[in-house]
Amino acid sequence: MRYSVKTTVILSLIHLVCNTCCVAASDAGKNSTTIFTREKYTATVAADGSMTSLKIDGKEFLHERGSNPRGVYLFQGKAFGLENISQPDKDRLVASNEQAVVTYTFKADSIDWNVRNLTKKKLTLLIAFAPDVEAVRHATGLYEKIPFGTSVSTTTWFKAGLKLNIDNGGRIWGPWGDQKLQIWQFDIKGKEEHTSIFTPGIADKDELAEVKVALNYVAEPPTDPIGPMWDLSKLSKAPAMHPAEVFKADGVDAIFYESLSYRGHPTETFAYIGMPDVPEGTKVPGIVLIHGGGGTAFADWVRLWNSRGYAAISMDTCGCLPGGGHGKRIHHTKGGPGGWGGYNQIDWPRTDQWAYHAITDVILANSLLRSLPDVDKERIGVTGISWGGYLCSMVSGVDSRFKFAAPVYGCGFTTEHAFARSVLGLGEEKADRWMRWWDPSAYLANAKMPMLWVSGSNDFAYTLNALQKSYQLPKTPHTLCIRLRMPHGQGQGSKPEEIAAFADSVVKQGAPLVKFKSQREKDGKVWATFENSVPVVKAELNYTCDTGKWQDRKWVALPATIQGNKVTATLPEGTKVYYINLVDERKLVVSSEHVEVTQ
């Protein structure tokens, strides 16, 4: 392999080309621009440590200009350079100052970009792409005309038959500025480091064909539906399915089932489905399991519910396949649109958008379970975690065949919780359309089944104010389980035994959770009445004296007094919000609605 390194001394405008050796470390100083040439690429690092050019077969992939945004650079309050430049060997260049250390490693086929944050504050890595870069393939496997926005780990960028793959990313967004630039971004926490990997190449014929489709795709103007958003008469029929043996897992079946078309192409959804071990001929209840953001179909989740005596199905709602890990899922060639939120899709036809397909996949999973001979179609419920909880709360108002619903974390009223900026940033018209089409608040009032809402007092995403508005919309009974500082995640969201007990009480004649009957507060005294079939062994007053962001409020738990079917407590001075938790002898928690104290 032939290597060459070119060094341009800016002050003297002298260009030195070296085809057989590398620049000495002492020559790569703060007054020089260093050019690394390999067989597959040529990269330029400017005197401030920013990589300002990356050419593949002579074609520029980065936005070149005299000031930021340009190329690969750093941002902390403002864009900044690194004045200390050295080259330890022929393949590495190190740039540093008191804020960061950047190490570029120029390999034969790739470039490693390692950044170490020396400060305690967040440091942002940015890439500004050349305006004529045409398309991107992101982690879901979909090809999009740029500028495009989503959260991703891996992206591949295409231009003139060439490609640049970037591993270990964060999110992409745009357009930025008059030239409508595409931006890649990753945030590094204080005192941490991160390595992204650039791999240049030549696009193959299949990739070029996909790029052509993406470039020629013209979305129809989005229009409101005439009648219901989803055609339940069509989706209530069991979809065709076939085995997915390559993904088989112990004790459950791996399948694909047919879903709706996406951009005119038929799609199919991957799922794990399993049955409990019961005597032959026994009709069992069922449950549909909706994973959260970054997740996929989970076999262990299906097995958990099988062990509880339920038929269960867990499907991928983003057109992906198992494996790859969080943010690195492999998109199925026949998969639908990627998630989450689909904010960047709001100008697409509504039937091509993520929320439309995700809800469709849930409805079809219900139809599939209902068609199985050993499943009692009148005893099927649904639960979901995080974004899955969002979908669960939405589908509760769309598919009335479900007999119970248990959203975990997720809820509606998105413009009032942590994702508000994602919606409001779309602008008034698009934000209104997103809320009208894809916010659960547009559907929850139609829910026909009892609901259990599980969350934490300080959930980072779905805050108590939005949660309360959501559970108050349905006219059917609701039960709350709000634990102090409950962690947010797929694992934590599948664990609460309250969900199983709630499901059993609805479809298996199990002992119900405690039910609050009334709640009052006067002169600093609070009391509530309840009914129960299982003894209540503990009561707590949960309160906060804080205002401001719900996520940041400090909550405190104090013992409350139980007298028969009544619980009483005294509010500490300065209480701003409170609610009561009751714990039965099964260690299952039920919460009252939170109350904001006015004084």
Q: What count of Cα atoms within 13 Å lies in the side-chain half-sphere of residue 193? A: 11
> Which of residues 456, 471, 505 is at a domain's end?
505
491 or 252, which is more confident?
252
Assigned domain for 14 exists: yes
Band the pLDDT of 396: cuts 50, 70, 90.
very high
Q: Which of 357, 438, 449 is nearest to 399 (CA)?
A: 449
Least confident of 7-21, 135-149, 269-283, 584-598: 7-21
- The residue-averaged pLDDT of 172-195 equals 92
Express each pLDDT in 267-288 by its tens digit.
999 999 999 999 988 999 999 9
Amino acid at 45: V
Same domain, 195 and 259: no
Whether 30 has a pLDDT exceeding 70, the answer reads no
145 or 581, which is more confident?
581
Express each pLDDT in 342-365 by its tens digit.
888 898 899 999 999 999 999 999
Band the pLDDT of 66: cuts 50, 70, 90.
low
Total count of domains within the chain? 3
The confidence score (pLDDT) of residue 27 equals 39
Same domain, 58 and 16: yes
- The residue-averaged pLDDT of 477-482 equals 98
345 or 257, which is more confident?
257
Same domain, 153 and 262: no
Same domain, 408 and 442: yes
d(CA 542, CA 175): 45
Average pLDDT, the chain: 91
Assigned domain for 530 exists: yes
Whether 29 has a pLDDT exceeding 60, the answer reads no
CATH of the domain at 561: 2.60.40.10
- The residue-averaged pLDDT of 48-58 equals 96
Whether 8 has a pLDDT exceeding 70, the answer reads no
Same domain, 486 and 567: no
Least confident of 122-126, 219-223, 255-259, 479-483: 219-223
The confidence score (pLDDT) of residue 323 equals 84
Length of the chain: 599
Strands (E), 203-303: 241-243, 253-258, 268-274, 284-290
The answer, as to whether pTM is greater than 0.85, is no
Band the pLDDT of 139: cuts 50, 70, 90.
low
Whether 446 has a pLDDT exceeding 70, the answer reads yes
Same domain, 141 and 48: yes
The confidence score (pLDDT) of residue 272 equals 98
Same domain, 492 and 377: yes
Assigned domain for 226 exists: no
The confidence score (pLDDT) of residue 526 equals 96
Residue written as token pair 């080309």: 17
Assigned domain for 50 exists: yes
* Percent of the residues in the chain that have a pLDDT greater than 90, as a whole number: 78
Three state DSSP letters for 23-58: CCHHHCCCCEEEEEECCCCEEEECCCCCEEEEEECC
Assigned domain for 225 exists: no
Band the pLDDT of 97: cuts 50, 70, 90.
very high
The confidence score (pLDDT) of residue 13 equals 24
The confidence score (pLDDT) of residue 264 equals 79
d(CA 110, CA 104): 10
Express each pLDDT in 499-542 by its tens digit.
999 999 999 999 999 999 999 999 999 999 999 999 999 999 99
Three state DSSP letters for 112-144: EEEEEECCCCCEEEEEEECCCCCEEECCCCCEE
Whether 10 has a pLDDT exceeding 60, the answer reads no
The confidence score (pLDDT) of residue 339 equals 81
Same domain, 289 and 396: yes
> Which of residues 505, 539, 560 is at a domain's end?
505
> Which of residues 187, 216, 245 is at a domain's end?
216
Same domain, 495 and 548: no
Same domain, 129 and 195: yes
Same domain, 240 and 331: yes
118 or 345, which is more confident?
118
Assigned domain for 165 exists: yes
CATH of the domain at 90: 2.70.98
The confidence score (pLDDT) of residue 360 equals 98
Assigned domain for 227 exists: no
- The residue-averaged pLDDT of 470-493 equals 95
- The residue-averaged pLDDT of 169-184 equals 88
Whether 2 has a pLDDT exceeding 60, the answer reads no
323 or 282, which is more confident?
282
3 or 361, which is more confident?
361
CATH of the domain at 451: 3.40.50.1820
- Contact in structure between 309 and 508 (CB atoms under 8 Å): yes
- Burial classification of residue 409, based on how many CB atoms lie within 10 Å of its CB (0-12 exposed, 13-18 middle, 19 or more buried): buried
Tokens of 59: 């074609």
Range of the domain at 576: 518-596
The confidence score (pLDDT) of residue 20 equals 27
Whether 19 has a pLDDT exceeding 80, the answer reads no
Same domain, 490 and 356: yes
Band the pLDDT of 392: cuts 50, 70, 90.
very high
Question: Where is mean pLDDT largest: 140-149, 166-175, 183-192?
Answer: 183-192
Assigned domain for 177 exists: yes
